[in-house]
Amino acid sequence: MPVAASAIYLLNLRGDVLINRLYRDDVGGNMVDAFRMHIMQTKELGTCPVRQIGGCSFFYMRISNVYIVIVVSSNANVACAFKFVVEAVALFKSYFGGAFDEDAIRNNFVLIYELLDEIMDFGYPQNLSPEILKLYITQEGVRSPFSSKPSDKPVPNATLQVTGAVGWRREGLVYKKNEVFLDIVESVNLLMSSKGSVLRCDVTGKILMKCFLSGMPDLKLGLNDKIGLEKESQLKSRPAKSGKTIELDDVTFHQCVNLTRFNSEKTVSFVPPDGEFELMKYRITEGVNLPFRVLPTIKELGRTRMEVNVKVKSVFGAKMFALGVVIKIPVPKQTAKTSFQVTSGRAKYQASIDCLVWKIRKFPGQTEPTLSAEVELISTMAEKKSWTRPPIQMEFQVPMFTASGLRVRFLKVWEKSGYNTVEWVRYITKAGSYEIRC
């Protein structure tokens, strides 16, 4: 296990220390001053999350209005450190009830210190699983010995949780209604040339699961992925069904998934933890269905005028629709006046990001709204630098659509008691970095 941190600081945006925890004494206590001086007060904040000042490395990450800074002086594993931060934030969020910001931290100092003591030891990450930590670090106050109500909760068996075969699930769970929710969330990353040819495109997806199941159920998930289907057809010695199969790259599973069975039978079978968790992650690079096509034409008319025409075409089913579509069209810094004509949605100029922002709340499939704008530029002193034309950026969410075409074929639940379960499946596709050059 590599070292991940010598010290952790939580700072607010002004650079005040909210909480700090030193795990090793190879960094000084005033390291945060260096961070403030050399990173926060320069323009480099946000360009590179790893910086070296003096003999120390600073890894930092901003989450809402808090900077989480890790300081190490040895050769630490950066990926491990960032993973630790991400997991720690997820942990805090599950303790605070979803919010992680300056106020939440100020309200939970003691709890955070307790957690920080638990999740890292001498710079080595420890157990970060909320389910398990919640057994020991509770949010209830210390019960007074004089309080009448005796604790009816069983004393958690620590050794079983940490060393047992199914460390992630408690025994003896009982639900009146046994339900499983599956969310398939995909984000599309795209870089397209102005001519419309795809330069780079991939989809990162994850399957999130929420289980409310009694006992120790065994679950089996079937997807329309290539390996799984081939294996199945081999086993059943019948030709694979026609239809689209998906090739998944870089699949990673939650620790509950039985990998030996996956390797031998290519099926995803697991005993799920209670509550919400991320079952698997994957990536797809081929056969991506792009939900939108963007056709921009931007003309510079002389030194002080520009004409922008953008056509956005939705290429998913006509019955579906996208939500929260935002198209950001960059314009030069010296933009002074803008006038728009849009066929749907609303558009305006945002000087703080130097973009024309076109928002369409509900975007049905198989339509092509257009924006045409006239931009007037102010003449400047400086020699007119040729404008670099940054790419157009797009944000959206398309429910019930997967850019990869991934489908859940089945989800089987098997439990000793043989109860019936209700399964819910949702699909959603979001924009990752969806960029079109113009």
Partner 1 sequence: MTMHGMRGLSVFISDIRNCQNKEQERLRIDKELGNVRNRFKNEKGLTPYEKKKYVWKMLYIYMLGYDVDFGHMETVSLISAPKYPEKQVGYIATSCLLNENNDFLRLAINTVRNDIIGRNETFQCLALTMVGNIGGREFAESLAPDVQNLLLSSSCRPLVRKKAALCLLRLYRKNPDVVNVDGWADRMAQLLDERDLGVLTSSMSLLVALVSNNHEAYWSCLPKCVKILERLARNQDVPQEYTYYGIPSPWLQVKTMRALQYFPTIEDPSTRRTLFEVLQRILMGTDVVKNVNKNNASHAVLFEALALVMHLDAEKEMMSQCVALLGKFIAVREPNIRYLGLENMTRMLMVTDVQEIIKRHQAQIITSLKDPDVSIRRRALDLLYGMCDVTNAKDIVEELLQYLSSADFTMREELSLKAAILAEKFAPDLSWYVDVILQLIDKAGDFISDDIWFRVVQFVTNNDDLQPYAAAKVKEYIDKPAVHETMVKVSAYILGEYSHLLARRPGCSPKEIFSILHEKLATVSTTTIPILLSAYAKILMHTQPPDQELQSQIWAIFNKYESCIDAEIQQRAVEYLALCQKGAALMDILAEMPKFPERKSSLIKRAEYSEADTAEQSATKLRAQQQTSNALVVTDQYPANGVTLRISVGQLSLIKVPSMITTENDTSTDQALSQQNGSLSKVDPQPPSVDLLSDILGPFAVEGPPGATVQSEHIAVSGLEGGSDAVDGSAIVPVEEHTNTVQPIGNIAERFHALCLKDSGVLYEDPYIQIGIKAEGRGHHVHLVLFLGNKNTAPLVSVHAIILPPAHLKMEFSLVPDTIPPRAQVQCPLEIVNLRPSRDVAVLDFSYKFGTNMVNVKLRLPAVLNKFLQPIQVPAEEFFPQWRSLSGPPLKLQEVVRGVRPMPLPEMANLLDSFRIMICPGLDPNPNNLVASTTFYSESTHAMLCLVRIETDPADRTQLRMTLASGDPSLTFELKEFIKEQLISIPTARSPAPAPKAPPTAQPTPQIPPNDPAAILAGLLS
d(CA 89, CA 130): 11
CB of 79 closer than 8 Å to CB of 5: no
Cβ at position 378, least distance to partner 1 in Å:
5
Question: What's the one-letter identity of residue 267?
Answer: T
Cβ-based neighbours of 157, under 8 Å, separated by 6 or more: none
Cβ-based neighbours of 276, under 8 Å, separated by 6 or more: 208, 209, 210
Q: Which is nearer to partner 1, 259 or 351 (CB)?
A: 351
Main-chain phi, psi angles of 367, to 5 degrees: -125, 165
Q: Which is nearer to partner 1, 15 or 390 (CB)?
A: 15
Cβ at position 225, least distance to partner 1 in Å:
43
Q: Which is nearer to partner 1, 296 or 332 (CB)?
A: 332
Cβ at position 396, least distance to partner 1 in Å:
24
Q: Which is nearer to partner 1, 39 or 221 (CB)?
A: 39
Cβ at position 60, least distance to partner 1 in Å:
14
Cβ at position 376, least distance to partner 1 in Å:
5
Q: Which residue ranges make up the site for partner 1 (CB under 8 A)?
A: 13-15, 40-41, 45, 334-337, 349-354, 376, 378-382
Q: Which is nearer to partner 1, 194 or 334 (CB)?
A: 334
CB of 224 closer than 8 Å to CB of 407: yes
Cβ at position 332, least distance to partner 1 in Å:
11
Q: Which is nearer to partner 1, 162 or 336 (CB)?
A: 336
Main-chain phi, psi angles of 78, to 5 degrees: -65, -45
Token pair of 315 as six digits:
């290429």
CB-based burial, 147-164: b 16+ in 10 Å, e otherwise = eeeeeeeeeeeeeebeee
Token pair of 114 as six digits:
């307790």
Cβ at position 98, least distance to partner 1 in Å:
23
CB of 183 closer than 8 Å to CB of 207: yes
Q: Which is nearer to partner 1, 234 or 350 (CB)?
A: 350
Cβ at position 64, least distance to partner 1 in Å:
13
Q: What is the CA radius of gyration of the chain?
A: 26
Q: Which is nearer to partner 1, 301 or 378 (CB)?
A: 378
Nearest CA to 389 out of 356, 319, 437 is that of 437
CB of 391 closer than 8 Å to CB of 438: yes
CB of 334 closer than 8 Å to CB of 286: no
